[in-house]
Amino acid sequence: MTDIEKVVTSIDPVVFSIFQDKLHILLVERNKEPYVGKSAIPGGVVIPSIDRTLESAVSRVLKEKTGIKINYVEQIKTIGSASIDPRSWTVCVAYFALVEYQNVTVPNAKWVSIDDLKNHDFGFEHHKIVISDAIERLTNKVNYSTLPVELMQEEFTLPELQKIYEIILGEKLDKSSFRKKMLENKILEDTGKLIKKGAFRPAAVYKKLKNEPVLFNKNIFKI
Amino acid sequence: MTDIEKVVTSIDPVVFSIFQDKLHILLVERNKEPYVGKSAIPGGVVIPSIDRTLESAVSRVLKEKTGIKINYVEQIKTIGSASIDPRSWTVCVAYFALVEYQNVTVPNAKWVSIDDLKNHDFGFEHHKIVISDAIERLTNKVNYSTLPVELMQEEFTLPELQKIYEIILGEKLDKSSFRKKMLENKILEDTGKLIKKGAFRPAAVYKKLKNEPVLFNKNIFKI
DNA sequence: CCAATAGTGTCTATGAGACATTATAGT
DNA sequence: ACTATAATGTCTCATAGACACTATTGG
C-alpha cells in the first residue's frame, strides 16, 4: 500500500435549517486558497492522525465549522476525481445535516436561503451538485417520512410542523391528512400542554418520542 | 494539502446474480496479505495516476476482478476508519452491481449463494456489513422498483421476471398484480415473439425499453 | 358575536390484493 | 379430453385525499 495510491478525503456537509419561512443552507466564505472569497460548503479534510472513523471526522468538521448541535446527519453520496480540487486527487463524502437555527453562533458562517443560492459564486464546482443532491434528498424524504421533525425544537405544535413540511415541499398540505399521518406513527407524544398564539383556539404541544425518522406507507398528502 | 492527510480509498462492489433459483454474490479468495486464503469482496484500490474519477475506478476494478459486463451499478455508502485495513487508514466506497450469470468467465472468482455466506470466513470485518447492506438495499428496491429487470437477459418473459422477484423477496407474488405493475410502467416492450416451454400456452417475450429502473407508487404486491 | 386558527368527522374515488376465469400449448 | 402454465377479468376492502364541521381563544 504505497503512498502513490493515497488521496485526500474531504467531508462536505450540507447543513439545513428553516427560519423566516424559508429553507436555508449554511455556507462559509473561503479564507484560504484555492478560491479565496468564494462561497463553499463548510467542509473539512479527514485527518487520519486525529479521526478514528469517518463519522468522527464528520462530527469534528461540523463542530469546528459550525459550532452547532446537529439534530440529524445522513450520508448522501461520495464522489471523487482528479479535478475536484486543483491541489490533489480528492474523494468527497457528502452529507446532509438538519439543525435548529436558534443554536447557530458562528461568525464565519452565513445562512443562505435556497432561493438565493443562484447569486452565490462557488469555487468548487462540485459543491453545486452536492447541494442540489442534498435538496433533492431532503424533499424526497419529506414526502414519505417524519424527517422534518428533526428540524424542530424539543417541543412544538402540529401546525408548526405542518408549516415546515409546506415550506420544504413548496405547497399547501391538507390539515386533516397531515395530522392523521403524523399521529398514526407513534413518534410524537402529546405533552398535555397548550400554547396560546392569538385570538383563537390554542394548539397542543407535542415532543419527539424517537429520534429516528419513520417512513410512511404512501408518498404524499397533498391538498 | 500535505501527505499526512491522505488515505487509501478502496472500491468494494457487491456483485449479484441469480441462477439455480438462488441469489448469488461474487467473491474472491484473497491471494495476498492481509488475510490470504480468506473470502473477500472483489474490490480494489483507487489509483490516482490511472483513474480519472471514482466511477472510472469502479469500472476498472470490476473489469479486472470480474471480467463481466455490468448491467447496473449503484453506490451504497462509504465507510472509513483506521481499523478497516491493518495497513492504512482506509476509506471504502461500497457499491452493488447486477450482472447476468451467463457472462461470467473469471477463474479466480466464485459465486456464493447468500444462504452459504455464513460458511465463509471474511478477513475484512467490514465486508460482512457491506454485503448485508447491499442485500438490504437490493430487497428494498425490489419492493418498489423495476430494478430486477437489470438481472435479466435482453429478452425474457413476465413469468421469468416474476420468478426473479420471488427469489429475491423469498415469497410468492400474485401473477395478476405483478403483470399490472410491470406493464403499467412503460419500461417493457412486447416483442411480439412467443416462447414455448412445454405442454401449455407459450409466454410472450418482452425486452427492456429503458435501462433505468422505475419506482412504483406503492410498495409491494404480495399474494 | 365575530374572526381566526386548532382540531375532528365523514364521504368518495382509487387501487392493491385476492381470487376466478379464460387461453393455448403438448400428449 | 386432460394437464400445466400463460394471461386476463372481476370483486372487495382499505385508505388517501377532499372537504365539511366543531372547538376554543381574544376582542
pLDDT tens for A74-110 read 999 999 999 999 999 999 999 999 998 776 667 788 9
- Which residue of chain B is at minimal alpha-carbon distance from A215? B219
Residue B57 neighbours by CB distance under 10 Å = 24
Say yes or no for a CB contact (<8 Å) between B81 and A54: yes
The answer to whether A91 contacts chain B (CB < 8 Å) is yes
Nucleotide whose C1' lies closest to the alpha carbon of residue A200: D25
B126 pLDDT above the threshold of 50: yes
pTM beyond 0.95: no
What is the rounded average pLDDT of the residues A45-73?
93
Residue B163 neighbours by CB distance under 10 Å = 16
Q: What's the rounded Cα separation, in Å, for the pair B120 and B117?
A: 5
Look at residue A184 in the predicted model and tell me its pLDDT. 87
Q: Largest Cα–Cα distance of chain A, in whole Å? A: 71
Q: Which residue is nearest to nucleotide C5 (CA to C1')?
A: A200
**Quick one: residue B115, left, alpha or beta (phi over 0 = left, psi -120 to 50 = alpha)?**
alpha
For residue A26, how far is the Cα from the chain centroid? 9
B48 pLDDT above the threshold of 90: yes
B3 vs B43, more confident: B43
Look at residue A212 in the predicted model and tell me its pLDDT. 79
Look at residue B152 in the predicted model and tell me its pLDDT. 94
| b/e sequence A182-201, b meaning 16+ C-beta within 10 Å | beebebbeeeeeeeeeeeee
Look at residue B217 in the predicted model and tell me its pLDDT. 58
Residues A190-212: tens digit of each pLDDT: 999 999 999 999 999 999 987 77
Min Cα distance B57 → chain A (Å) is 9
Nucleotide whose C1' lies closest to the alpha carbon of residue A203: C6
Instruction: Give the three cell numbers for residue B32.
Output: 495476498
B215 pLDDT above the threshold of 90: no
Q: What's the rounded Cα separation, in Å, for the pair A82 and A195?
A: 55
Residues in chain B, total:
223
Residue A48: list chain B partners with CB under 8 A.
4-5, 7, 82, 89
Q: What's the rounded Cα separation, in Å, for the pair A176 and B146?
A: 33
Q: Which one-letter amino acid corresponds to residue B16?
A: F
Mean pLDDT of chain A: 91
Pairing status of strand A6-19 against strand A88-99: parallel
Say yes or no for a CB contact (<8 Å) between A48 and B91: no
User: Distance from residue B216 (CA) to nucleotide C23 (C1'), in Å?
Assistant: 29
User: Distance from residue B219 (CA) to nucleotide C16 (C1'), in Å?
Assistant: 10
How wide is the angle at C-alpha A191 spanned by C-alphas A188 and A192, nearest 5°?
Answer: 130
A186 vs B40, more confident: B40
The answer to whether B195 contacts chain A (CB < 8 Å) is no
Q: How many CA atoms lie within 13 A of B92 on its CB side?
A: 27
DSSP secondary structure code for residue A122 in this structure = B
Alpha helices in chain B (DSSP H): 54-66, 125-144, 158-169, 175-184
The answer to whether A76 contacts chain B (CB < 8 Å) is no
For residue A43, how far is the Cα from the chain centroid? 13
Residue A6: list chain B partners with CB under 8 A.
3, 6-8, 88
Helix (H, G, I), strand (E, B) or coil at B20: coil
B91 pLDDT above the threshold of 80: yes
Identify the weakest region by mean pLDDT among A144-158, B3-17, B57-71: B57-71
Look at residue A220 in the predicted model and tell me its pLDDT. 41
Instruction: Give the three cell numbers for residue A193.
Output: 400542554
Min Cα distance A208 → chain B (Å) is 27
